[in-house]
């Protein structure tokens, strides 16, 4: 028959073992999380790299598209005029996009949450009014 002293040391030893197992388990879970994050970061980096490569190829593709338009236009007019027309079209498109961008930026300025500020002032005033009663 176990005595109280034997039971106390058994429980203490068991508690210590449980704590050690919990600590080991936590360390293993952190290590697993780190490995998983490294794997996902690697996949993300590879995806970004491939995406940048695709963007570069698409950029050259757009350039060749405009060159094709100039060559096709050169069938009708002199080559220098065809290139000049395509160049003027590109600058015109850039100007329109720039104006659109400027109007969108002006619409967003200043970058303050005006509605949230207005609501905070109303709430503050309501709390002050309740405090004076």
Compute the average pLDDT of residues 97-119.
85
* 8 Å CB contact between 34 and 47: no
- CA-to-CA distance for 131 and 98, rounded, in angstroms? 52
* pLDDT, tens digit (0-9, with 9 covering 90-100), for 23-69: 888 888 888 888 888 888 888 999 999 999 999 999 999 999 999 99
Contact by Cβ (8 Å): 86, 69: yes
Instruction: Give Cα 11 to chain centroid, integer Å.
Output: 51
CA distances from 74 to 61, 88, 111, 131 (A): 20, 15, 48, 80
Tokens 């709390």 -> residue:
127
Domains of the chain, residue spans: 1-76, 77-133
pLDDT score recorded for residue 75: 97
Percent composition of the chain: helix, strand, coil (DSSP 3-state, to 5): 90, 0, 10
- pLDDT score at 2: 55
111 in Cβ contact with 103 (< 8 Å) = no
pLDDT band at 3 (very low <50, low <70, confident <90, very high): low
**Tokens found for residue 49:** 């790299």
DSSP letter at 110 equals S
The model carries a pTM of: 0.54
pLDDT score for 95: 97
- CA–CA gap between residue 26 and residue 17 (Å, rounded): 14
Average pLDDT over the chain reads: 87
């Amino acid at each position: 028959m176990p005595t109280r002293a034997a039971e106390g040391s058994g429980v203490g030893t068991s508690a210590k073992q449980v704590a050690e197992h919990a600590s080991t388990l936590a360390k293993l879970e952190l290590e697993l999380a780190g490995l998983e994050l490294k794997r996902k970061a690697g996949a993300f980096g590879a995806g970004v790299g491939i995406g940048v490569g695709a963007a570069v190829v698409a950029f050259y593709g757009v350039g060749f598209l405009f060159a094709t338009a100039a060559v096709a236009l050169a069938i009708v007019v002199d080559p220098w005029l065809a290139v000049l027309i395509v160049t003027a079209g590109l600058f015109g498109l850039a100007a329109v996009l720039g104006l659109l961008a400027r109007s969108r930026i002006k619409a967003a300025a200043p970058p303050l949450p005006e509605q949230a500020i207005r609501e905070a002032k109303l709430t503050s005033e309501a709390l002050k009014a309740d405090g004076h009663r």
